[in-house]
């Protein structure tokens, strides 16, 4: 049996009760159809068999009586024989339509006509000779017992009805062999079968409706707790952890409800505990960051005074003054990053959207990092199809993402080229930063956005960053409903792709720049 596909229908896809009832009714329809087909076939065969047997019996009796009277007429005149044959035909006929077992008679000559013999062929009540199939006539001529076949009874006036023809050979004196056929109407049998078929269809429909009703009652009792559990689970997802299932019995469904409520209570406790720990952690990071700002400012002022007078100091002390300023700069950046991370964790980070040209912003970031690129012997190439790529976003956060990606590319490019690609569509913009430096492992490409993660753990902290830059960049991108992705291979460099919607609140429909760079794909 072919299984129908309705997965594209919303009701079929979203309702378990509808699925169960549908499949129960659908399978019941198949079972009822097969059962009724077999029953109808048996009834039809029985009615057909009874009609054939009774028709053969009537035909044998009529042919026997006709043959007996004709034999007794041997030696009589042609007129007498003709009268006897007419009587035989009339006595063997009960007009079709006048009784349930109506029949007509057709008398046909078997051998070729002779000019010297009288032709006694005739039919009753305007029945056409074409009502007798030639195939049946051929069988009757060769047989000594009654033969039958279904046929269409046609009349001289053009009417026709389904029928059954039963034929047998008889002999007429001085004329030769003839075939006598009794033609029985099958109209009543057809009407009976139609009544049986309609009754079976009606009974089947009632049965399917009853099955559907029973399944609806059963499913309602079974699925209702599941629907209630799904509704409560959705409320859990929305943040309401106080909802519970109602338990009113002691059956299996009640056990499910009790287990669900216990699970919900355990989840509520664990989530509350984790939320408390998270709030403590966020508050600690925020408080420590704020508290460190005051002594850091004092240290910054003192270090600048010392650094300004380093020419008068011993070389070792002068170098220490330079290191002090550098580490204070790094410490200040770390505090800024920690404060930004605490804003993301507390969900208080907001967008200050303005409309700006992304190409101009990228050029400004490259210009600001030119000194660092010169120190690292790095050449930066920019490619974009449009001179102006307008986007509405938080320019401060987008600039921070771009500076982070470009500066990371410069630091890790190992004096190789860096390519920056800018593209746009009607609803989104994308920036790809491709370097050809040390690269990343495939596993590291997934961890590179983790907080405090470093690609080279042994790298000295003096030259290393805070480990928060890419993590903050990813949060900035997602705050715009955008995405930041990373790709890399050891020794082949890395590729970072930033995709942002052109307007706040919209979603990106597709990635405009392939994550795997084309120069890498061409080498595979």
Strand-by-strand arrangement of the 103-109 sheet: 122-123, 103-109, 176-185, 160-172, 147-154
Choosing among 3.40.50.1980, 3.30.565.10, 3.40.190.10, 3.30.465.10, the CATH entry for 353-521 is 3.30.565.10
What pLDDT is stored for residue 461 in this prediction?
44
Q: What residues have CB less than 8 Å from 197, skipping those under 6 apart?
A: 40
- Per-residue pLDDT band for 14 (boundaries 50, 70, 90) equals low
Instruction: State yes or no: pLDDT of 22 exceeds 60.
Output: yes
What is the rounded distance in angstroms from the CA atom of residue 31 to the CA atom of residue 36? 8
- Whether the CB-CB separation of 440 and 464 falls below 8 Å is answered with no
Does the pTM of the predicted model rise above 0.75?
no
For the segment 39-47, the average pLDDT, to the nearest whole number, is 91
What pLDDT is stored for residue 297 in this prediction?
77
Instruction: State yes or no: pLDDT of 508 exceeds 80.
Output: yes
The first and second tokens of residue 25, run together, are: 């009714």
What pLDDT is stored for residue 351 in this prediction?
83
How far is CA 282 from its chain centroid? 44
- Per-residue pLDDT band for 497 (boundaries 50, 70, 90) equals very high
- Angle ∠(182,183,184) on CA atoms, nearest 5: 115
Model confidence pLDDT, tens digit, residues 166-192: 999 998 887 888 999 999 988 888 888
- Per-residue pLDDT band for 49 (boundaries 50, 70, 90) equals very high
Spell out the domain ranges in the chain: 252-345, 353-521
Q: Which fold has domain 252-345?
A: Helix Hairpins (1.10.287)
What is the rounded distance in angstroms from the CA atom of residue 105 to the CA atom of residue 120? 13
Element (DSSP H or E) covering residue 181: strand 176-185
Please give the biggest Cα pair distance in the chain.
Answer: 167
- Per-residue pLDDT band for 275 (boundaries 50, 70, 90) equals confident
Instruction: State yes or no: pLDDT of 460 exceeds 50.
Output: no
Element (DSSP H or E) covering residue 294: helix 252-308
Tokens 């938080």, located at residue: 394
User: Nearest to residue 277, comparing CAs of 181, 345, 351?
Assistant: 345
- Whether the CB-CB separation of 410 and 368 falls below 8 Å is answered with no
- Per-residue pLDDT band for 285 (boundaries 50, 70, 90) equals low
Model confidence pLDDT, tens digit, residues 400-446: 999 999 998 998 888 789 999 999 988 999 999 999 988 888 777 77
Percent of the chain with pLDDT over 70: 86
Model confidence pLDDT, tens digit, residues 73-106: 777 788 888 888 888 888 888 766 555 567 889 9
| Distances, alpha carbon 475 to alpha carbons 208, 211, 349, 365, 479, in Å | 57, 56, 10, 20, 6
The first and second tokens of residue 508, run together, are: 């990106």
């Amino acid at each position: 049996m072919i299984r129908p596909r309705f997965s594209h229908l919303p009701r079929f896809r979203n309702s378990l009760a509808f699925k169960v009832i549908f499949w129960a009714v659908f399978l019941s329809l198949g079972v009822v159809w097969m059962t009724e087909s077999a029953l109808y076939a048996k009834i039809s065969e029985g009615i057909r068999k009874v009609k054939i047997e009774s028709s053969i019996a009537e035909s044998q009796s009529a042919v026997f009586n006709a043959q007996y009277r004709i034999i007794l007429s041997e030696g009589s005149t042609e007129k007498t024989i003709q009268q006897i044959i007419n009587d035989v035909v009339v006595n063997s006929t009960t007009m079709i339509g006048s009784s349930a077992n109506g029949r007509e008679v057709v008398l046909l000559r078997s051998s070729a006509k002779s000019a010297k013999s009288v032709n006694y062929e005739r039919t009753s009540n305007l029945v056409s000779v074409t009502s007798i199939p030639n195939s049946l006539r051929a069988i009757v001529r060769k047989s000594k017992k009654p033969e039958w076949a279904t046929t269409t009874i046609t009349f001289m006036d053009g009417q026709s009805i389904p029928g059954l023809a039963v034929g047998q050979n008889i002999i007429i004196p001085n004329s030769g062999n003839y075939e006598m056929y009794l033609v029985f109407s099958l109209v009543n049998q057809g009407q009976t079968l139609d009544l049986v078929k309609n009754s079976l269809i009606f009974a089947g429909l009632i049965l399917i409706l009853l099955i559907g009703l029973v399944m609806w009652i059963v499913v309602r009792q079974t699925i209702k707790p599941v629907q209630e559990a799904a509704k409560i689970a959705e409320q859990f997802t929305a943040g309401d952890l106080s909802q519970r299932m109602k338990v009113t019995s002691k059956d299996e469904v009640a056990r499910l409800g009790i287990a669900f409520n216990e699970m919900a209570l355990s989840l509520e406790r664990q989530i509350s505990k984790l939320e408390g720990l998270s709030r403590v952690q966020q508050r600690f990071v925020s408080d420590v960051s704020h508290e460190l700002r005051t002594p850091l400012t004092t240290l910054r002022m003192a270090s600048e005074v010392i650094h300004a007078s380093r020419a008068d100091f011993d070389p070792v002390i002068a170098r220490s003054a330079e290191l002090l300023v550098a580490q204070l700069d790094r410490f200040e950046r770390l505090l800024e990053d920690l404060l930004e991370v605490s804003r993301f964790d507390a969900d208080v980070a907001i967008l200050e959207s303005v409309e700006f040209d992304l190409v101009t912003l990228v050029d400004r970031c490259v210009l600001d990092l030119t000194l660092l690129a010169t120190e690292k012997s790095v050449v930066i190439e920019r490619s974009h199809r449009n001179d102006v790529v307008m986007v509405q976003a938080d320019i401060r956060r987008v600039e921070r993402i771009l500076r982070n990606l470009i500066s990371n590319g410069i630091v890790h490019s190992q004096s190789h080229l860096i390519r920056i690609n800018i593209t746009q569509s009607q609803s989104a913009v994308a920036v790809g930063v491709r370097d050809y430096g040390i690269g990343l492992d495939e596993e590291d490409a997934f961890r590179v956005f983790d907080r405090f993660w470093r690609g080279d753990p042994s790298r000295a902290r003096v030259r290393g960053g805070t480990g928060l830059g890419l993590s903050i960049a990813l949060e900035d991108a997602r705050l715009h409903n955008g995405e930041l992705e990373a790709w890399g291979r050891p020794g082949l460099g890395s590729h970072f792709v930033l995709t942002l919607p052109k307007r706040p609140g919209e979603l990106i429909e597709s990635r405009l720049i392939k994550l795997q760079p084309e120069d890498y794909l061409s080498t595979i």
